[in-house]
Chain A
Amino acid sequence: GAGVSQSPSNKVTEKGKDVELRCDPISGHTALYWYRQSLGQGLEFLIYFQGNSAPDKSGLPSDRFSAERTGGSVSTLTIQRTQQEDSAVYLCASSVTLAGETQYFGPGTRLLVL
């Protein structure tokens, strides 16, 4: 079956602009995760969803970051007023249920903020 997909694959934006990153999880997976991979920080957890709910937003780097999930499926990660330090690969993963299960990752969105 289809894996996790993300769009766009690459995004170049100017500092101060808003960007929206999209994740389509594997059908039927109730849990969805966002991670970020940057040179200085490695792979870091950002936020998780159980269904449409994101109970803990403390992993988001700043209040410029927000995420939502609708219909228990597609999720979007929005970064407002982008900064150069936001440049990274943003990875989405999904799993059948929350916790204790294999997480399947998408190909990522490479974001470059100029």
Chain B
Amino acid sequence: SQQGEEDPQALSIQEGENATMNCSYKTSINNLQWYRQNSGRGLVHLILIRSNEREKHSGRLRVTLDTSKKSSSLLITASRAADTASYFCATEEIGSGNTGKLIFGQGTTLQVKP
């Protein structure tokens, strides 16, 4: 079953603009991870944010986590055409028996127009 819901499902912006994607989840988590996927193939890991963290940065990426609202956001600043991809959030639930099992959202498809 899918825990995460991502919003929006699709996003189209111009190069240079910022892109914000949101993820909501249902249960308590150990951590939340964001991935990028190009052309329906392998997932590229972007950022892992733990449940006791509120914000993390990596280059042009900024991730926030609000455990009280069970939500996270991914901000890509100064977008580039190469950022065109699908973006997924994935949560590792507390009580999953420490299996590391990730539950993925449905993803946001981002198109950055040159």
Which A residues fall within an 8 A CB radius of B?
31, 33, 35, 37, 42-45, 48, 56, 59, 89, 91, 93, 95, 98-108, 110
Bound CA span A89–B98, Å: 25
Residue pairs across A and B with Cβ atoms less than 8 A apart, 21 shown, are A33-B101, A37-B40, A43-B90, A44-B2, A48-B99, A48-B100, A56-B99, A59-B101, A91-B42, A93-B43, A98-B99, A99-B92, A100-B31, A100-B100, A101-B48, A103-B100, A103-B102, A105-B45, A106-B42, A108-B41, A110-B41
B30, B43, B45, B106: which has the most chain A beta carbons within 10 Å? B43
- Residues 61-78 of chain B, each 1 if its beta carbon lies under 8 Å from chain A, else 0: 000000000000000000
Which B residues fall within an 8 A CB radius of A?
2, 30-31, 33, 35, 40-45, 48, 50, 88, 90, 92, 96-107
Bound CA span A103–B32, Å: 11
Q: Inside 8 A of A100's CB, which chain B residues have their CB?
A: 30-31, 50, 92, 98, 100
Tell me the nearest residue of chain B to A6, going by C-beta: B42
Q: Inside 8 A of B96's CB, which chain A residues have their CB?
A: 99
B35, B42, B44: which has the most chain A beta carbons within 10 Å? B42
